[in-house]
Amino acid sequence: MRVDSAFEPLLGAFDLEGLDAEAGSVFGIFTDGRLACTNDGWERFARDNGAPELVRGWPLGRNVYEVIPPDLQPFYREGWEWASESGNPWSHSYECSTPAEFRHFRMTSYPVGEGRGLLVVNSLVASAPWPAGEEAGRPRAEYYDARDRVTQCSHCRRTLHQPSGRWDWVPEWVQRWPDEAVPTLCDLCASYHYYARARGVPGAD
């Protein structure tokens, strides 16, 4: 397990060997977003999900906000600030699927070191193969707007079907963002993330 020497004392009762043995991705950050620790699960998840750069190019000390889409940064920033200031864990559910499989995860962020850092634990809640949908045979041209751009949700990764206004799952564009993609939030994800903020406990569910 990689851990910053200044972060390790903040972990208190958390056992480093136990964290490294967690099946899911575990990482720690200082309150300004600097990466402070990662377990083997973090590196394994990055490699298995087509993001080896998160292993090779992410030394401790680099800021995690660099890889969070701009539309989602306020959600995570406010959630982590709430956890640090309140002393309570902050949890929320999210989807991180593959082209072949639906996957539902739970992220729990534990404040450590009297609010000076956060330990973030990601756990797989459910997974299932995607059912064959009609979007599999739909012409990809229908997802491009008049300016030849594709509108894709930066959270759930669904893509806007231009003629119907519906958000569809397009497997190959989950594996690799189309070059013409314009990241945004679909209606459901926007409602979840920004309504949660309005409730006072960001993302709590």
Determine, yes or no, domain membership for 6: yes
- Range 173-193 average pLDDT: 77
Higher pLDDT pick, 81 / 182: 81
Chain mean pLDDT for the chain: 83
Q: 48 with 24: CB under 8 angstroms? A: no
Determine, yes or no, domain membership for 154: no
CA–CA separation, 75 and 96 (whole Å): 17
Determine, yes or no, domain membership for 70: yes
Determine, yes or no, domain membership for 75: yes
Determine, yes or no, domain membership for 79: yes
Determine, yes or no, domain membership for 17: yes
Number of domains the chain contains: 1
CA separation (Å) from 81 to 9, 30, 54, 172?
20, 11, 24, 35
Q: 30 with 7: CB under 8 angstroms? A: yes
pLDDT given for residue 93 in this prediction: 84
pLDDT given for residue 187 in this prediction: 80
Q: What is the pTM of this model?
A: 0.73
pLDDT given for residue 9 in this prediction: 96
| Percentage of the chain lying above the pLDDT 70 cut | 83
Determine, yes or no, domain membership for 9: yes
| CATH code for position 114 | 3.30.450.20
Give the phi and the psi of residue 47 in degrees, each rounded to 5.
-65, -45
Determine, yes or no, domain membership for 137: no
pLDDT given for residue 36 in this prediction: 98
Q: Sorting pLDDT into bands at 50, 70 and 90, what band is 134?
A: very low
Does 55 score more than 80 pLDDT? no
Q: Sorting pLDDT into bands at 50, 70 and 90, what band is 29?
A: very high
| Structural domain that includes position 63 | 2-130
Residue 193 class from Cβ within 10 Å (0-12 exposed, 13-18 middle, 19+ buried)?
buried
- Range 16-26 average pLDDT: 90
Does 113 score more than 70 pLDDT? yes
pLDDT given for residue 202 in this prediction: 55
- Range 1-24 average pLDDT: 93
